Amino acid sequence: MDCNSGKRKAVADALVERVTEVAKEFGLKDLVVHREANPVLVAARGELKGKKAKDGTQDCERIEFVLQISPDIARAEVASVIGADLTPNADLAAHRAFDLSDVVAQDSVARSAPEPDDDRC
Amino acid sequence: MPTLTSCIFENRSFTGAANCNSVNFPANGWAWVTWGFSDRRASLARVRQDSDIVIALTPVLDTAANRSLVDANLPSGARRITGIRAGMVPYSETWGGRNQPARHPAWRVLVDLSFRVDIDLPWYCFAGGNDTKATIHYYLFVRLNAAGTLVATVDHWEWNRTEGAGLCGGEVASRLNAGVPNGVGPLQTALTNAVAPFSSFNFGDIYFLPGDGRTSGVDEVADVRNEAAIILIR
């Protein structure tokens, strides 16, 4: 879901800039921009102030919108359900650790038999 | 008197639910264990000596100090909704195992320290609710060095969002990716302090067991990733 590199970044930058301008132009004060995220997201809501109503009160129209910028909107939700990284410079030295490699290697039953079907519904 | 601990696991990868049964038996005698489960795929058995040292992980790690530590490093808008859980998992079943398989042997067992969080969602997410949930994992590599001294390090981290986030999957991911790594340093400091009392001892071997490592009776474990014990052999 990378909208922060290449041509997609250029498009995302332009869209965010222009949508932000529109939101500010119309006085939408509740403006949210997640430009660093993938997918990129811009949301705004507020009151569009118009002419005065017959009773003298300000005639306001409420508006809210969300713009999501993604290579594939259908997959955007699925693609952001996991995150991880390895600890840099982690000490991996070990003299003795719990390792089941030898146990598994000697498992003649498992190696000769196929994985059984999971019969749970 | 030695003890036979026999454990059966739900999955072939020594993950999922497990049942352990521990029985004492006389020297040159037999130990007798029967099981009535059909949904178990792997087993481990070990003869244990009275001199073995058992450290149940969750009581050691789910402390007020460690809860404060992880709470202080949660992503914005997130709050912990479970205690700290600590179990066992083969490296191959972690994110690191799937993405950098050369880092450790596939069947090397790490400690899976995890907890669940609730994450607030703002109005524009349209997620069908005002929040979502995720599980945060810190994988700990616990082993003995050449001198037989206990060593523990934070190996890597991982999060899994388990509920929908509407349009805010990216935002939530950004928050978690920014926040979860901040816990590595403080957690490493806490781990180093936790194993410090053992630094004057030398051990011959180390292994893990599901549950609390008890030496008699049955131990029913709902998920070995949430509950395990380290056994140190003098």
Query: Is residue B75 within 8 Å of residue B180, measured between CB atoms?
Result: yes
Residue A93 lies in a domain: no
Mean predicted lDDT score pLDDT of chain B: 95
How far is residue B102 CA from its own chain's centroid?
A: 21
- Residue B52 is predicted with a pLDDT of 96
Residues of A in contact with B162 (CB under 8 A): 81
Closest Cα partner for B206 from B23, B97, B52?
A: B52
- Residue B76 is predicted with a pLDDT of 87
How far is residue B1 CA from its own chain's centroid?
A: 29
The count of other CB atoms within 10 Å of the CB of residue B183 is 22
- Residue A113 is predicted with a pLDDT of 66
Q: How far apart are CA A69 and CA A59, in angstroms?
A: 33
Q: How far apart are CA A31 and CA B174, in angstroms?
A: 18
Place B108 in a pLDDT band, splitting at 50, 70 and 90: very high
Tokens read off for B152? 């523990």
Residue A36 lies in a domain: yes
pTM: 0.90
- Residue B129 is predicted with a pLDDT of 78
Per-position DSSP letters for B109-120, written without gaps between them = EEEEEEEEEEEE
Does the pLDDT at position A115 exceed 70? no
Q: How far apart are CA A77 and CA A19, in angstroms?
A: 22
Output the CA torsion sign for A50, A52, A54, A59.
Answer: positive
**What is the mean pLDDT of the segment spanning B194-216?**
95
- Residue B94 is predicted with a pLDDT of 98
Residue A63 lies in a domain: yes
Residues of A in contact with B210 (CB under 8 A): none
Count: domains in chain A:
1
Q: Which range, of A105-109, B20-24, B219-223, averages the lowest pLDDT?
A: A105-109
Domain residue limits at A47: 6-79
Does the pLDDT at position A104 exceed 80? yes
**Closest Cβ opposite residue B171 in set A37, A98, A116:** A37
- Residue B139 is predicted with a pLDDT of 98
- Residue A119 is predicted with a pLDDT of 59
Query: Is residue A41 within 8 Å of residue A19, measured between CB atoms?
Result: no
Per-position DSSP letters for B69-86, written without gaps between them = HHHHTPPTTEEE-S--EE
Q: Which amino acid is at B145?
A: N
Per residue in B158-190, pLDDT (tens digit) is: 999 999 999 999 999 999 999 999 999 999 999
Q: B108-122 burial by CB neighbour count: b if 16+ within 10 A, else e?
A: bbbbbbbbebbbebe
Candidates B12, B167, B191, B206: best to mutate against A (most CBs of A within 10 A) is: B167
Residues of A in contact with B170 (CB under 8 A): 1, 34, 37-41, 70, 76, 80
**If you search the block for the tokens 């180390």, which residue do you land on?**
B206
- Residue B107 is predicted with a pLDDT of 97
Place B128 in a pLDDT band, splitting at 50, 70 and 90: confident
Place A99 in a pLDDT band, splitting at 50, 70 and 90: very high
Q: How far apart are CA B104 and CA B88, in angstroms?
A: 15
Residue A88 lies in a domain: no
Residues of B in contact with A86 (CB under 8 A): 96, 100, 103, 155-156
Residue A100 lies in a domain: no
Per residue in A29-79, pLDDT (tens digit) is: 899 999 999 899 999 999 887 666 677 676 678 899 999 999 998 888 888
**What is the mean pLDDT of the segment spanning B134-139?**
98
A43-82 residues touching B, CB cutoff 8 A: 43, 45, 64, 66, 68, 70, 76-77, 79-82
Q: How far apart are CA B107 and CA B110, in angstroms?
A: 9
Per residue in B17-50, pLDDT (tens digit) is: 999 999 999 988 898 888 888 889 999 999 999 9
Does the pLDDT at position B145 exceed 80? yes
